Amino acid sequence: MVVLLFICCGAFAQTAVKHLNNEYSIELLTAEDGFTSSEIYSIIQDNKGLLWFGTGENGILKYDGRKVVNYEYDDNQANGISHNDAGNLLLADNGDIWIGTWGGGASHLEIRTGLFNHFEHDEQRHNSISSNRIQSLFDDKGTIWMGSYAHGLNKYLGDNTFKRYLYTQHNPATISHNRVWDIEENNSNSLWVATSYGLNLFDKETEKFINFLPEPQNTTPTGANEIRNLLKTDAGLLYVGTQVGLFQFDVKSEHFLPITTAEQKPLGQVNSIIEDQEGSIWIVSSKGLFRLGQNQQLHQLQLPHNNGLRIVFEDRSGIIWVTSEVHGIYKITPQRKFKNIRSDLLLAPNGITVDEQGDLLIVSASSVLYKWSVKSQRLLQLTEQIFTKAQGFSENRLLERPVLHLADKNTLWVAQDDGLASVDLQSNTVSLLRYPKSEPLHKEFRELRALNSDQYGNIWVGTYKSGIYIYDVSKKTFSHLGHTAGLTHPEVLEIYKDRENNIWVGTGDGVSLWREGSQSFTQFKQNSTHSGSLVGKIVQDIHQSRDGKIWVATQKGLNLFDEHSQTFSHFGRQDGLPTSLIRAIEDDDMGNLWLTTNKGISMLNLKSNYLVNYDGYDGLLGINYYANSLIKGANNILFTNSQRGIEYFSAEILDDNNRQFNIVLTGFSKMGQEVSLDKPFAYVDEIALSYLDYFISFEFSVLDFSSPSKNQYAYKLQGYDENWIEIGNRNVAAFTNLDGGYYTLLVKATDSHGKWLDKQLSIRLYVAPPPWQTWWAYCLYALFALIIISAIIVYRTRSQENEIMRQKQFVQALEEQVAEKTSSLNAQAQDLLIANKQLELLTFQDGLTGLYNRRYFDQHLFEELKRHSREQQDLSLILCDIDHFKLYNDHYGHLAGDNCLKQVAQCLRQCVGRITDSCCRYGGEEFAIILPNTNEEQSNYLAEQLRLAVEAMKVPHEKSATSAFITMTLGVVTLTPTDNTSVDSVILSADKALYIGKAEGRNRTSRANAITLN
């Protein structure tokens, strides 16, 4: 049955196109990230969370966030994909994957076993699949439907048998065209089928089709009649993507309602449609990527390249994936949690604070006061320019950030450069306040940086270079506080009044606390010799949290003040913060402490020891902020201020981050070679090993795709070590020489914000013992031991009397010899002791130079490698060689050469001063110095001092091509040894460095990286 319809045009079709780029961050993945093909025509996410990509030329790709695994056709492998043109993927309800290929029929991947089953067209079987070109796949509650390129619709009946539904001419109850683009459920009894000639409604009981045409006047499979995509939303709406645009199909009226731009232009050829988790519709067309909101507003997301887009897909974490045939894969991460106040009126730098209702008060760089309502999210101008050129204020103030202070619910104080004013928030009237020119300090009253009021209502004004000015509101007079009052520095950056009315002043050199009783400041400054002093000199912000604690932000870290001890505890990189430069501090209604830094925003919860860092990957519009510009408004909204403008976010939304991600095994190696297991890595839960597998490694990944480089990992092997080993962003754990027995490998990971996930990877390991350690081997050992013991007992019993007689004879002879030998042995023992001491000294000393010899060097280097491996400390080795020494011997004679070696040895001994360092003669004119606990910088410095000292001796060397005097070339290597580091590898590394120095002209110090010998 063919129903002729007319396209209904109305207000629905006229939706304005707006851009979405501020709501998402965009990252392009290409071949450099492992994606061997950009011709990707489908994306699915399996039940573990792995992403699968169907390509048009390279089989299928599996992505775990860190690497891509490619499944390609291999005619030598029976269990594999049937064709490399595998652009159609379907995640079945049971978790398996179906693949529709373009020439190899269909394949079924049993996800838990990794086995493929293939279904190909057989001309001899009428119940085989109708075509080897599969265009579409659909799972109807366990029944798999397949649409072909030119041979209709297939229903899989099981056991490699299919039922076909083909177009029959002059039979309106058949499918309208044999090319099936897409399949979608209508209800339990019917399916929607998209073909090249219209939309079909298929009744599964009667097996009849009803055809609907967007362009009934067009009798060809072109234009809007070519239905390429279908989407049925959660609300029951049916969207139809065609060759010329997008439509909504009204099932009741049977009308196709076009979705167009504000200019009533169609979206072009629609290649893909999805509904995201928030109910918005995403469309990929020939004109780009669009989002249709629930309010029917059409928005466009401008990608770096809008051409060649094919597929749009949303994973479970809300990330949008869009493929481009030309450029790769776009990963589009929502950043709607962070927003900015958009207005051309707000010229940066702006100053911000909040009023009594929690709405934001803003003074722009042009000194105009605005109010932004948290509830209505609307900007209202309250005043004209507060400081103008006509009033005598310089235009240079436009470069200065305004400073705001709400003295009471109706009075706002504003300072900018040398301007100071109060604003009545009821009448919005402005009163300018000028510092008297008759005062001697009036020229210093400029570059105003801080404002606050004390308990008496006096206004404290902090300047950049001239300390603090206090304005007495009642007397209308100014007073000044500077170094004579104990202010730590004239550069005042912050003035803060705590809930006990104490005034805290942050300066360019620490914090000053005003003591009202003594009318002076108590100073808190950085002191490197006192662990409880303030860390950092330049104060960025001071804040009192809800629990009454005083926090101080500096350019060197976050400081928490202990009132009882008058000391500070510190927070920095060692506690997980991304940087030590803290710009501002604020706390929310849940007790979390929020920080802005030069690397984003951080949330710190001290009660749960929980820290989260947010940066550009999380949707921040930038990562650097102004000092003391973080403030909490109504509804737990936090506002930030920067050169980009004013941004805001909800602390409650950001704190609600409980999404969990699976951690899966992605690789397993034995003896350095990756091996396959009996099932896909992601589904492996136990592994059996031979005793010969003495080196194994595991690769794993947490399936959080938002920012894989920020995920942190830790592992432990139960049965071997019960402690978690944190390995940062590395995702490999390796073990050597495990004893036979049972173990459990546990792996945990953080999400991209640094929060440890509840889910863990758990893999049971069984290591078979060697044959000589099995139970039957121990039984044989016991039996053999029993036989031996019995034989010994019998033998000893029979020979007991003979043994007693021999012992008596021996004792008698021994007594006679003892008396004779005793006196001589005493003398020999004394001589032997003296000789051994002399021999031990000669054994480890070079006879010519007096330095340690090669034997001592080899033994001591081996001992130091083991010690430094245990302690994980740096160890350095210097190999040095006298330049052109053979020519020196040939010219001056061997006696002179020996004297030269002695002089050089004495020079080395004098330069190497630590008792733990060892100077050795390595051989001939070569020397070696072992430097324990010495890093690269220290070893480079010492080597250069040795070289200069030898050259400074000025021992003549007429035959040297390098210098007129004796010189030395030195090779240096520094490493942190491991259990696998050998003496030979360290010597070889230093020798390589020495070779480099010789090759570069001698008389120099060269360095090489440590070499690992297998």
Active site residues: 925
pLDDT score at 751: 87
pLDDT of residue 193: 97
Give how far Cα 542 sits from Cα of 361, 528, 559, 642, 839, Å.
Answer: 20, 21, 9, 18, 71
pLDDT band at 17 (very low <50, low <70, confident <90, very high): very low
Are 631 and 670 found together in one domain? Answer: no
In a domain, 721, yes or no: yes
pLDDT in tens, 527-583: 999 999 999 999 999 999 999 999 999 999 999 999 999 999 999 988 889 899 999
What secondary structure, in 3-state letters, does 205-242 show? CCCEEEEEECCCCCCCCCHHHCEEEEEECCCCCEEEEE
d(CA 596, CA 577): 11
SS (H, E, C) 50-95: CEEEEECCCCEEEECCCCEEEECCCCCCCCCCCCCCCCEEEECCCC
| pTM listed for this prediction | 0.65
Residue 992 and residue 851 share a domain: yes
Residues 852 and 793 in one domain: no
* Same structural domain, 855 and 1002: yes
Residue 647 maps to a domain: yes
Same domain, 933 and 885: yes
Q: Is the residue at 1001 inside a domain?
A: yes
Residue 9 pLDDT > 50 = no
Domain CATH for 860 = 3.30.70.270
Of the three residues 740, 769, 798, the one that is the final residue of a domain is 769
pLDDT of the residue at 336: 60
Same domain, 810 and 829: yes
Residue 440 has pLDDT above 90, yes or no: no
Q: Does residue 210 belong to any structural domain of this protein?
A: no
736 lies in the same domain as 826? no
Angle value at C-alpha 966, between 960 and 972, nearest 5 degrees: 105
Q: What is the pLDDT of residues 861-873, one digit of tens each?
A: 999 999 999 999 9
The domain boundary, picked from 653, 676, 699, lies at: 653
Residue 300 DSSP SS3: strand
pLDDT at 3 over 60: no
Least confident range of 399-413, 799-813, 814-828: 814-828
Residue 33: inside a domain: no
Exposure string (b/e) for 90-117, b if CB count within 10 Å is 16 or more? Answer: bbbeeebbbbbbbbbbbbbbebeebebe
Q: Is the Cα dihedral 818, 820, 824, 826 positive or negative?
A: positive
| Both structure tokens of 649 | 């976010």
Lowest mean pLDDT of 278-287, 539-548, 593-602, 833-842, name the range: 833-842
Could you tell me the CATH number of the domain that includes residue 592? 2.130.10.10
Choosing from 808, 840, 872, the residue where a domain stops is 840
User: What is d(CA 713, CA 143) in angstroms, rounded to the nearest whole number?
Assistant: 41
**651 falls in which pLDDT band (50, 70, 90)?**
confident
798 is a domain residue: yes
- Pull the structure tokens for residue 107: 């394949």
Structural domain range at position 825: 774-840
- Specify the pLDDT at position 244: 95
Residue 668 placed within a domain: yes
Tell me what the mean pLDDT of segment 977-1004 comes to. Answer: 92
User: In whole angstroms, how far apart are CA 525 and each of 568, 794, 835?
Assistant: 10, 87, 65
Same domain, 846 and 965: yes
Q: Does residue 855 have a pLDDT over 60?
A: yes
- Is 384 inside a domain boundary? no
Return the pLDDT at 299: 87
More confident residue, 1014 or 191: 191
**Mean residue pLDDT across the chain:** 90
What percent of the chain stands above pLDDT 70? 94
| CATH classification of the domain holding 689 | 2.60.40.10
Whether residue 690 is found in the same domain as residue 646 = no
In the predicted structure, residue 394 carries a pLDDT above the cut 90 = no
Q: Are residues 556 and 649 in the same domain?
A: yes
C-alpha span between 369 and 351 (Å, rounded): 9
Over range 940-955, report the average pLDDT. 93
What pLDDT was estimated at residue 837? 47
Answer yes or no: is pLDDT of 469 > 80: yes
Number of domains observed in the structure of the chain: 4
- The verdict on 713 and 760 lying in the same domain is yes
Average pLDDT over residues 984-997: 92
Does residue 790 register a pLDDT over 70?
yes
In this predicted model, what pLDDT tens digit does every residue of 760-778 receive, in sequence order?
A: 999 999 999 888 877 887 8
Query: Do residues 781 and 765 share a domain?
Result: no
pLDDT tier at 831 (50, 70, 90 boundaries)?
Answer: low
Res 1013 pLDDT > 70: no
